[in-house]
Structure 1
């Protein structure tokens, strides 16, 4: 079974796309109607013989079907009209009605329901008039009124054509809807992947460039007075830039090989000492306290915890006058709590950030059904608190009556 509908059905389904003409199916149908009508002639001795005019009507009724996908309404009327003239001329009943069925199906499926119903209904009414009234003046000369039992058969045939056409229309609409939903889902996944990569790149670059910026300033200030200290600053810059390049390559590697496993494991809390060392090279002293029994964290939680601490320390380096920060990592049975404090005050300088750091932390926490609070402390410092459930859906969201991500300028820069 086709998941997106038959190929001939979906071709040109998008608005503005022209379908290829169904030459093959139309040719087969034309040959079948011509040959089948010849056999029908031998079984209906009381009807007129097939003349060149009859053959022309049969050809017209089927040949126009080659345009049924582009012009369904005119084709439906042309087929029904040719069939009605064929019947009125007294030629034998036969497979010409198959052309009417194909034309009606194409019209209804294309959305021209009234056209399909009207053309088939008009053909039926015309047949009733010919069979029970106009037959006196139409060939064959010795023809009489048709039995009403045959009209019941014709009525059932008409209803069957309309029912099958409506069923095809409904099924096609379902296919179109499913295809649109699949396209939307693919676009949504692509957008989520772009957002994830942007968040990763922001966190990596913001932290590393902040360290590089601080060390570059130290190196410039001490270049003449203390060359050895300046050399240390340059060494730190080299190490930070090398690490940043490695993480950027890891993130971008998924673009080159979608679905492939990263060459290096994603960072987690096991690299927290390394993060503290980097912050120390930028002049920030970080005290880490761990509460509870450390357990193996889910990969998503482990990565989010590392990035949240990284971003919070980056903000301290960029926006706080304090050179001391405290990190609390609390392991509970159902959640992981992170708290990052600095004593402030805010420097009030423009650090050139993008303003996306706190938003990125909030997105990371929300993706895990966690919460983030980032607010100034009463004593003048700043505190970031994150609660990350270890199981999706654990933990209610904090309702504070105000945006928990709002922080005073200029610390909101990241």
Structure 2
């Protein structure tokens, strides 16, 4: 009887030890999985930090390059503006300088509203026309909405007007430019008219500047056209939607 009891006790102890070993094994496996997950998460966090550091370094280097370009090339363009032999030459250098500033601004990704963009366009246009001895009338309807414009759309709009002003200064022999803006059916309608009597760009005309204007209008999901102006020169008509940004 005693032997049987001892045998039973030994079997029970063996069972307990077996259960204990099984539980211990499960706990150890769970601990290993937890440690592996922690290592994976730590590695991911380290990778994210390294990626962030690399991205910040790339951005800083890009900013340095753009600043160097602006300081160096910008200074040379300013020199060309001041030493130009004609208003047309000065305006060409001024337009290139504005293009350079656009590149720097776009790289920083600072979108704004429609009114912000139009304010910048008006300031630049007024300065360029005044330097060429041409007056400007700027007319905007009071009910013009003010949606947000991403950097790309603002740049396209800015470049279209800039090219139109370049054509006026270089070809139109104008003394006055009128810019009007209103919204019809959810679309911005911009017309830019000069009173010149020089070369009038037409929709069928060939030229890099006009092609660029067409391409930019297409990027805005808009339309652009050229017609005889009511003030004697050429009228540029641009329409573009003011809804969501084009995809």
Question: What is the TM-score when the length of structure 1 is the normalising length?
Answer: 0.32
Matched, 1:271 2:140: no
Residues 392-411 of structure 1: pairs in structure 2 closer than 5 A: none
3-state SS of paired residue (1:277): helix
- Matched residue, 2:219: 367
Change (3 A) 1:246 1:341: closer
Change (3 A) 1:214 1:337: farther
- Matched residue, 2:86: 217
- Matched residue, 1:7: none
Residues 12-411 of structure 1: pairs in structure 2 closer than 5 A: 212=81, 216-217=85-86, 241=93, 244-245=96-97, 247-248=99-100, 251=103, 262-263=107-108, 265=110, 268-275=117-124, 276-291=126-141, 292-299=143-150, 300-332=152-184, 334-346=186-198, 355-377=207-229, 380-391=232-243
Residues 118-166 of structure 1, C-alpha deviation per residue, up to 9 Å, x if partnerless? xxxxxxxxxxxxxxxxxxxxxxxxxxxxxxxxxxxxxxxxxxxxxxxxx
3-state SS of paired residue (1:322): coil
Change (3 A) 1:326 1:246: closer
Q: Which has the higher strand share?
A: 2
CA distance in 2, matches of 1:218, 1:303: 25
RMSD: 4.1
- Matched residue, 1:130: none
**How many pairs align?**
157
Residues 163-187 of structure 1, C-alpha deviation per residue, up to 9 Å, x if partnerless? xxxxxxxxxxxxxxxxxxxxxxxxx
Decide which structure has the larger Cα Rg and report it.
1
CA distance in 2, matches of 1:241, 1:218: 10
Report how far residue 318 of structure 1 moved: 0.7
Change (3 A) 1:384 1:247: closer
- Structure 1, unaligned runs of 5 or more: 1-207, 220-232, 255-260, 349-353, 395-414
- Structure 2, unaligned runs of 5 or more: 1-76, 201-205
Residues 73-121 of structure 1, C-alpha deviation per residue, up to 9 Å, x if partnerless? xxxxxxxxxxxxxxxxxxxxxxxxxxxxxxxxxxxxxxxxxxxxxxxxx
3-state SS of paired residue (2:129): helix
CA distance in 2, matches of 1:303, 1:371: 16
Report how far residue 387 of structure 1 moved: 0.2
Report how far residue 263 of structure 1 moved: 3.4
CA distance in 1, matches of 2:102, 2:155: 14
Change (3 A) 1:214 1:317: farther
- Matched residue, 2:61: none
Change (3 A) 1:249 1:218: closer
- CA contact under 8 A between 1:250 and 1:264: conserved in structure 2? no
Residues 244-283 of structure 1, C-alpha deviation per residue, up to 9 Å, x if partnerless? 44742763x79xxxxxx71374793221232212221122
3-state SS of paired residue (1:287): strand
- CA contact under 8 A between 2:171 and 2:198: conserved in structure 1? yes
- CA contact under 8 A between 2:149 and 2:245: conserved in structure 1? no
CA distance in 1, matches of 2:236, 2:100: 26
CA distance in 1, matches of 2:85, 2:109: 29
